[in-house]
Amino acid sequence: MLTIEESGAAEYADTYGSRRGRWDAVDAFEAGEVFERSVTLSDWRRPDGTASDLGEIPGEEDEIAPPGACADLAPDEEQFHEATGNEGASFERSYRRAALVFWPRARLFAVLSQAGLGATLPYLGDLVRRWAAADPDCRGALWRDAHDLAEHMVGRWPKHDWRDTERKEPSEAGQMLGLLADLGDTATIETVLTGIIAGGFGKADTDAIMAALGQLAPLRRVALIELIVAGSAAGSLGACADLLARAAAAWATSGDCDLTGVATRLLAALPSGAARATPPSAWHQSGPAVAAGIVADLVLGLGAIDPVLAERAIEHVLAWPKVYGMDAVLVPAARGLCRLEVVRGAAAALARLRTACLAHLRRRMAEKLAAPTDWRRDSQIPCRCPRCADLARFLADPGASIWVLKAAEAERAHVQHSIRQAGSDVDTTTDRSGRPYRLVCTKNQASHERRLRQRQRDLVAVAELTA
């Protein structure tokens, strides 16, 4: 099925004056200049009439024969849209015709690659599976087919694709690497690693990257890991730390696979001060700057490569508490590492991390947990407006448990926002009897209850860290 879609500017027809108000009348408009035009091929059938697995493939105007064959077609669908705001009248129309499509058999993969990765990845997977199951006499031709298709895919890879490094499933690049590893196509593996993966990847791709690297010679393997870390550590720090830990566990003990350079480069990429381990993309999802898993992977990977580097990593993370928070990052990392039976080469680094975490926990556990003896609460409010000043005086009053604010909606909403922003121990409800409505503020013991819950978590953490 050949589908041509056009859109552009519409003009009012000469007969519009006698039809004023009939906006839904097709003959009230005429198609004007075409701004956009697309040609696609879909709903494929083989010569014997059976369906094909080919998906939607874009076409080019100069591929239609004979030239001008579609110049005078009547549209199958045509819609006009009246002018709105700053936009003039417009039209959309489409043409659908059956077409006979042919190309040299040797160009199959060039044609298929135009359909994008959604079509080529499944096709490549099918080729690799057929190659693995084929008789030895047939395997050579299937291997070459898979290799040729992979080269076409790399050549048409999106140049500015946004990569979600937090995704739970392998990316398209990771899926392709896994297939290439099965195929043993080392040349294309290197192209994908250097040209695509080095620009950013997620932890879900690590299995495929390790399988692909395993197909290469040790020296080349190390060089590529260093290249990947250098190119993607800024935006994929967690994935790089995971890759380093995995590579160190697999190859660090072999004499021909020195990962010291990779470890040093990753250590130098660790964020500090105001820096954050997030990619420059504005589309990156918000979240913690550094996850606990990154620190744990660093200790494991660096320790297996060079224990001194592991100690330097711990020294770095302890020096920047605003980036590597104790409760959000370091304590969970230490607890996870302490659960492991073996932490090769990182005993000293782990001991230092554990000591710092225990000191933090015990310092907080030494604080008293007595419940408030009166109604005085923290009165630090960021806003200094008259209403918030009243709120602050209420919070500081040891004898007042309830404060009622009778005010317009905007003022009530502002006070509620200040309460939430300051984390004040106050519950709010709105009394809608009478006008204006009243905001009823009632003090609670939320801070004390949070400290009680934190004490229980601290006890569990200390028990794990001292087991």
pLDDT tens digits, 157-209: 987 656 666 778 999 999 999 999 999 999 999 999 999 999 889 999 999 99
- Arithmetic mean of pLDDT, 347-359: 96
- Tell me the pLDDT tens digit for each residue of 409-437: 999 999 999 999 999 999 999 999 988 99
Cα three-residue angle 185-191-192, rounded to 5 degrees: 90
- Tell me the pLDDT tens digit for each residue of 277-286: 444 433 333 3
Q: Which residues pair with 84 in a beta bridge?
A: 87
Q: For 374, which DSSP code?
A: S
- Arithmetic mean of pLDDT, 16-40: 66
- The CB-side HSE value for 106 (13 A sphere, CA atoms) comes to 0
- Helix or strand run (H / E) with residue 35: strand 29-41
Q: Phi then psi for 376, rounded to 5 degrees?
A: -75, 130
CA-CA distance, 276 to 57, in Å (whole number)? 41
CA-CA distance, 344 to 299, in Å (whole number)? 9
Q: For 253, which DSSP code?
A: T
User: What's the confidence (pLDDT) of residue 10?
Assistant: 82
- 229-238, 271-280, 399-408: range with highest mean pLDDT: 399-408
CA-CA distance, 196 to 188, in Å (whole number)? 11
CA-CA distance, 195 to 158, in Å (whole number)? 11
442 against 92, higher pLDDT: 442
Q: Which residues pair with 90 in a beta bridge?
A: 9, 81
- The pairs formed by 119-124 with CB atoms below 8 angstroms and a separation of 24 or more are 119/54, 119/55, 119/57, 120/149, 120/152, 120/153, 121/153, 121/172, 121/175, 121/176, 121/179, 122/53, 123/53, 123/149, 124/149, 124/150, 124/153, 124/176, 124/179
Among left, alpha and beta (phi > 0; psi -120 to 50; other), residue 249 is alpha
* pLDDT more than 90, % of the chain: 63
Residue 340 in tokens: 């492991």
- Arithmetic mean of pLDDT, 381-410: 95
Q: How far apart are the first and last CA of the chain?
A: 69
Q: Phi then psi for 9, rounded to 5 degrees?
A: -85, 140
User: What's the confidence (pLDDT) of residue 260?
Assistant: 94
What is the pLDDT confidence band of residue 15, given thresholds at 50, 70 and 90? low
- Tell me the pLDDT tens digit for each residue of 310-350: 999 999 999 999 999 999 999 999 999 999 887 888 999 99
Strands 29-41 and 57-58: antiparallel
Domains of the chain, by residue range, sit at 2-102, 386-444
User: What's the confidence (pLDDT) of residue 62?
Assistant: 86
Q: Which amino acid is at 148?
A: D
Three-state DSSP class for residue 252: coil
- 17-21, 190-194, 232-236: range with highest mean pLDDT: 190-194
What is the pLDDT confidence band of residue 357, given thresholds at 50, 70 and 90? very high
- Tell me the pLDDT tens digit for each residue of 248-302: 999 988 778 899 999 999 999 999 875 444 444 333 333 346 888 999 999 999 9
- Tell me the pLDDT tens digit for each residue of 110-159: 888 888 888 889 889 989 999 999 999 889 999 999 999 999 999 999 87
